[in-house]
Chain A
Amino acid sequence: MKLIIAIIPPHKLDSVKTALEDVDVHLMTVTNVLGQGRQKGVTEIYRGAKEAGGLLNKIRLDIAVNEDFVEPTIAAITKGAHTGEVGDGKIFVVDLAQCIRLSTKERGSAAIG
């Protein structure tokens, strides 16, 4: 079992979600987050005072998958979010020790899908 964490620009959420549904990945947690990557945030101007280094709005997706869904999930997120520019975002894949579905009390792989 893996936990896939993706950080993407807010305007890419729709295309990523569509691409994930195309490979049968429907379960995800989505959060609004702030961050900056190589594009280094934004500059905002308030009454003529320039304030650099403002963090950018980003979307974080948390998706738990079984081993055979790892590559399709990565491919789908990439398909939905890749433009080739800085600021496209990142995907992190980490090992997932356990997963418990609260309604049925199932554990492990059976609880993920």
Chain B
Amino acid sequence: MNSGDTAWVLISTALVLLMTIPGLAFFYGGLVRRKNVLSILMQCFIILCVISIQWVLFGYSLAFGPDFHGIIGNLSWAGLKGVGPIPNADYAATIPHSVFMIFQMMFAVITPALIIGAYAERVKFPAFLLFTILWATFVYDPLAHWVWGTGGWLKSMGALDFAGGIVVHVSSGISALVLALLLGKRLGYNHKPIRPHNLPFTVLGGALLWFGWFGFNAGSALAADGIAANAFITTNTATAAAGLTWALIEWWHNGTPTILGTVTGAVAGLVAITPACGFVNPMNAMFIGMIVAAVCYLAVAVIKGKLGYDDSLDAFGVHGVGGTVGTIATGIFAQKAINAAGADGLLFGNAHQLLVQGLMLIVTVAFAAIMTFIIFKIVDALIGMRVEEKNEIVGLDLTQQSEAAYTVIE
């Protein structure tokens, strides 16, 4: 046991909590119209409450518990039975098992919260809640087991995902796209502008995401060591490069750089470096940041408009596409010289790694898409996913929560 490692992972846990609330909550909250801002804050907040409970009751055991044929953990750690101060050497030999558990909890929390961006401004609250619980249980927990759990079949194949490019970002991003397609466009989409109501909120949230992401990525080293330091540096470098690149592309394409674009680019950079941060060097991280900004810009500003789906806050365009770029980039730029526990990528003579990354990507996309489709159909049949037209026009704050964010008269 190492007290430095334990302290770092505990602090990282709190940093990752900060990403969901207030980070993501305000990043998304600023992007919606004023009549829906509380619905976003509520969804992010209640996800932290709900998934924290789910994780303790059975989620952690499903994801990381003793393996059942490589596909799921069994329930012997339900209620955190046996998950205490004694380290579990399979996951992290130098910190208490309970610290590893709580760190992973925050990942399970933020992943369904990312999906909110796809159904923002038109989802029924009870349907959102049921969807979230089912998705966490039947998509996130198995996937986390496959990629990170001891005995998980993708982990056994040597697939690399340092901090959750696949498990967190591709899974939520693909699910977001499926939801946006199934749910349909917001009323008035394409006919009148649907403008962000408070971009300073979005910038504040984006900045908190960047800050919290140091815990997400560098914390994933599960130790206060050189690999954590490398992850910290690659995270910051890729993010800076992506924010700058997005601003420059906008400048060239539209004539002005925007703060929304710069923040969006930075988040895309954070997403893309997530699977790679513990395996690549800083110069390649910079390159990954530049690439992901260009690809996500294309997805969000050009392709989305042409295809015409309403991914309201670009959960797919940033997390799905960015996670995909990062997962492939890991298979290209990973090097054992950075992390001996990792693998060499294509650039370092190991084409096989790229193949494994590609397989993991295809499996995740297919699994998340199919499961999201099924869960959507179940919830839609039971409760109805989308609010009535009248309620969508009035806004979710008043119709789903009976409260208003802003008063006009005191």
- Asked if A86 CB lies within 8 Å of chain B CBs, one says no
Which of B193, B261, B314 is close to A44, meaning CB atoms less than 8 Å apart?
B193
A51 — which chain B residues lie within 8 A by C-beta? 193, 195
Closest Cβ–Cβ distance, residue B322 to chain A (whole Å): 14
CA gap between A54 and B250 in the complex, in Å:
20
Q: How many residues of B contact A (CB 8 A)?
A: 17
**In A41-70, which residues have CB < 8 Å from any B CB?**
44-51, 53-54
Closest Cβ–Cβ distance, residue B202 to chain A (whole Å): 10
Which of A48, A50, A53, A54 is close to B297, meaning CB atoms less than 8 Å apart?
A48
Closest Cβ–Cβ distance, residue B224 to chain A (whole Å): 37
A53 — which chain B residues lie within 8 A by C-beta? 193
Query: Which among B126-134, B299-307, B381-389, B399-407 touches the partner chain?
Result: B299-307
Q: How many residues of A contact B (CB 8 A)?
A: 10
Closest Cβ–Cβ distance, residue A12 to chain B (whole Å): 25
CA gap between A49 and B297 in the complex, in Å:
11
Closest Cβ–Cβ distance, residue A16 to chain B (whole Å): 26
Which residue of A has the minimal Cβ distance to B31?
A46
Closest Cβ–Cβ distance, residue B170 to chain A (whole Å): 20
CA gap between A54 and B253 in the complex, in Å:
20
Taking a contact as CB atoms under 8 Å apart, the answer to whether A46 and B256 are in contact is no
CA gap between A113 and B70 in the complex, in Å:
86
**In B155-212, which residues have CB < 8 Å from any A CB?**
193, 195-196
Closest Cβ–Cβ distance, residue B27 to chain A (whole Å): 13
**In B256-312, which residues have CB < 8 Å from any A CB?**
256, 258, 260-261, 264, 297, 300-302, 305
Q: Is the interface of A mostly helix, strand, loop or mixed?
A: strand
Taking a contact as CB atoms under 8 Å apart, the answer to whether A46 and B305 are in contact is no
CA gap between A44 and B260 in the complex, in Å:
12
Which residue of A has the minimal Cβ distance to B254?
A45
Which residue of B has the minimal Cβ distance to A51?
B193
Taking a contact as CB atoms under 8 Å apart, the answer to whether A49 and B305 are in contact is yes
CA gap between A47 and B30 in the complex, in Å:
14
| Given A51-B193, A53-B193, A54-B193, A45 contacting B302 (CB threshold 8 A) | no
CA gap between A17 and B4 in the complex, in Å:
64
**In B201-256, which residues have CB < 8 Å from any A CB?**
250, 253-254, 256
B254 — which chain A residues lie within 8 A by C-beta? 45, 48, 50
Taking a contact as CB atoms under 8 Å apart, the answer to whether B195 and A47 are in contact is no
Taking a contact as CB atoms under 8 Å apart, the answer to whether A48 and B250 are in contact is yes
CA gap between A39 and B305 in the complex, in Å:
27
Taking a contact as CB atoms under 8 Å apart, the answer to whether A47 and B305 are in contact is no
Taking a contact as CB atoms under 8 Å apart, the answer to whether A45 and B258 are in contact is yes
B residues adjacent to A (C-beta < 8 A): 193, 195-196, 250, 253-254, 256, 258, 260-261, 264, 297, 300-302, 305, 314
* Interface CB pairs A-B, < 8 A, 9: A44-B193, A45-B250, A45-B256, A47-B261, A47-B300, A47-B314, A48-B253, A48-B297, A51-B195
| 9 extra interface residue pairs, beta carbon distance < 8 Å, beyond A44-B193, A46-B195, A48-B253 | A47-B260, A47-B264, A48-B250, A48-B254, A48-B302, A49-B301, A49-B305, A51-B193, A54-B195
Q: What 6 pairs across the A-B complex have the smallest Cβ distances? A: A48-B301, A51-B193, A47-B300, A45-B254, A47-B301, A47-B264
